[in-house]
Amino acid sequence: MLHSRGPLLTVDLTDRTTSDTDVTEQLKEFIGGRGVGTKLVHDRTPFDADPLGPENRLVFTTGPMQTSNMSFTGRMNATAVSPLTNGLLSSNAGGFMSRHFADTGYAAVEFTGASDDLVIVHVRDDDDVTFEAVPDLAGATVPETCSYIEDEHGLESEHVACIGPAGENQVRFASIMTTEERAFGRGGLGAVLGAKNVKAITFDGDSRPDIDVPAGQMEIHREAATDDHIMKEQGTVSVMDLANEMDGLPSYYFSEQSFEGVEGINGDAVAEKKYKKGTCSACAFACKLPTKDEARGVETEGPEFEVAMAFGSNSGVDDIVDVMKSNQLCDEYGLDAISTGNTIAAYLAANDEFGNEDLVWDLVEQIAHREDVGDTLAEGIGRVHDELGVENWSVKNLDFAAHEGRVLHGQALSYAVANRGADHMYAVFYSVEYPLVDEDKAMDPVGFDGKAERLVQRENLMALNDSGVVCKFSRDYMSPERYEMLFGEDFDTLLDVGSRVVTLERHFNNQRGLDRDDDRLPYEDELPGFEDALDAYYDARGWREDGVVPDGVVSRGGSLNA
């Protein structure tokens, strides 16, 4: 089986020491990326670790595909215990850093402990790791931090993973930013880095491992380059009109399911502001959205559909430039734009202020700096909804993505059981219910017939992609045969890798007290058959009916036993 190569580099921030560990067996078993990150965190982090404490280990990983030239491979993974969900969580970022990470020759780099001083950690090959004290960067934005690193070290932002003020202030949904505008977004891993007093990490070297990726990769690359796909013009926001027509666009803090101002924030609105192509490393699909409005001095990348929902329809804002500005502020401060927008929408609902874009921008800044009411909102919806007097629109404290589970019932089940919480990318089940796939792969959005078993397969496939690492928007270009060609193993065996990743995540979270009681939805009473679907899902996974991995299935330091 194709897998990453290289050792694990451990960076102890307390002692400022480093060490290498042979992780060949973990790489063979879990390929790379999310799989190896999950295995390492599961085995090396105490089950009771404080997410913001020094014992939490933050692990960066790539996969074998980051040594290729194939489209859909400009991504990498970060894994740790989340300060938002309180469980093991992996986050996936695009951009251009993954190749520079691979150039270090390490398969994984983990950070443990905490620094006394605010530092930048520079990671190069040949055990060249240096710690640079940067007290003057305290409170610096992401662009300011990247400019400093380029001026002082000649490394552009594509070499950099950093945090903004939000991470330093341990906002529970702070992002780790790379290439300035790409984010390890969901789950608050920026707060983990902030708690370790790390402002930035740089990756550079010339020791990229020689991994023989099959030549068939270039057929996929050519198709990605030549296909006329709507995402190349509108990105993920291309689905907004369809969602609105299906009465499936969350609006006004989830109280409504369609938005009368949709034309002001939809795919056409974004396309009008797009001024050049945007992509990730080595990818010819180029589905990113560099946008700007010269009249108002706004320039950003995006917004994607989730952000256009959170800062647009869910906040009662119908001007795409207003949403672009919100997105730009989140990138600068190092905030997950989805959680920030949804949390602000909760505040707007509580204070009858929908559509007040000036208040929205003030709140973004207050959250990033934990000032005034921003200190409360920085805890996230799951922790502050009672204080605000609004409904808790989160699962495992992760707020909902844009694809409406009250309309797409399989996506609702996915939100409930996903180890990350209410995240749309954990299974990408919405794609088979809109549908965005071929008719023979589509499912009726209403009801749960056959969906628990299909959800297990989807989760396993997404975990495989995240271990590879292969972008999930490759769905129109990948097939079982192509997975087998790329990774050199039969498809069922590859899906089993994904299954073991999901089970390891669940087992770790079970040890932290998460079980069926956490697999709940605020609208599950509106979904006939939901409890039976939960039972069917656990049964398909081989878990107990309380959502717990049975004893003996997982052992620390070893393989899954069943």
> Is residue 142 within 8 Å of 177, Cβ to Cβ?
yes
How is residue 315 written in tokens? Answer: 């906040």
Alpha-carbon span 263 to 244, nearest angstrom: 10
Q: Is residue 334 part of a domain?
A: yes
Instruction: Look at residues 248, 235, 281, 353 and name the one whose alpha carbon lies nearest to residue 97.
Output: 281
Q: Is residue 209 part of a domain?
A: no
**In terms of domains, do 184 and 234 share one?**
no
**In terms of domains, do 64 and 196 share one?**
yes
Q: Is residue 138 part of a domain?
A: yes
Helices (H), 314-450: 320-333, 337-350, 357-369, 374-377, 381-388, 409-417, 430-433
Alpha-carbon span 217 to 221, nearest angstrom: 6
- Residues of the chain short of pLDDT 50, as ranges, are 562
How is residue 184 written in tokens? Answer: 């390890």
**In terms of domains, do 418 and 376 share one?**
no
Alpha-carbon span 58 to 41, nearest angstrom: 8
Structural domain range at position 374: 227-399
Q: What is the CATH number of the domain that holds 167?
A: 3.60.9.10
Alpha-carbon span 500 to 506, nearest angstrom: 10
Q: Confirm whether pTM is higher than 0.75.
A: yes
Q: What is the CATH number of the domain that holds 446?
A: 1.10.599.10
**In terms of domains, do 312 and 183 share one?**
no
With a CB cutoff of 8 Å and minimum separation 6, the contacts of 407 are 246, 247, 248, 257, 445
Q: Is residue 165 part of a domain?
A: yes
**In terms of domains, do 122 and 242 share one?**
no
**In terms of domains, do 168 and 317 share one?**
no
**In terms of domains, do 387 and 426 share one?**
no
Of 331, 365, 399, which one is at a domain's C-terminal end? 399
How many other CB atoms are found less than 10 A from the CB of residue 364? 28
In total, how many domains does the chain have?
Answer: 3
Q: Is residue 175 part of a domain?
A: yes
Go through the chain and tell me how many residues it has: 562
**In terms of domains, do 231 and 156 share one?**
no
**In terms of domains, do 187 and 115 share one?**
yes
> Is residue 559 within 8 Å of 29, Cβ to Cβ?
yes
Q: Is residue 549 part of a domain?
A: no
Of 347, 364, 399, which one is at a domain's C-terminal end? 399
Q: Is residue 2 part of a domain?
A: no
Q: What is the pLDDT of residues 118-170, one digit of tens each?
A: 999 999 998 899 999 999 999 999 999 999 999 999 999 999 999 999 999 99
How is residue 284 written in tokens? Answer: 């010819």
pLDDT of residue 561: 52
Please give the angle made by the CA atoms of 349, 411 and 285, to the nearest 5 degrees.
Answer: 100
Q: Is residue 234 part of a domain?
A: yes
Strands (E), 98-164: 108-112, 119-124, 128-133, 160-162
**In terms of domains, do 71 and 106 share one?**
yes
Q: What is the CATH number of the domain that holds 380?
A: 1.10.569.10
Amino acid at the residue 148: Y
**In terms of domains, do 154 and 259 share one?**
no
**In terms of domains, do 58 and 176 share one?**
yes
Of 340, 366, 399, which one is at a domain's C-terminal end? 399
pLDDT of residue 127: 85
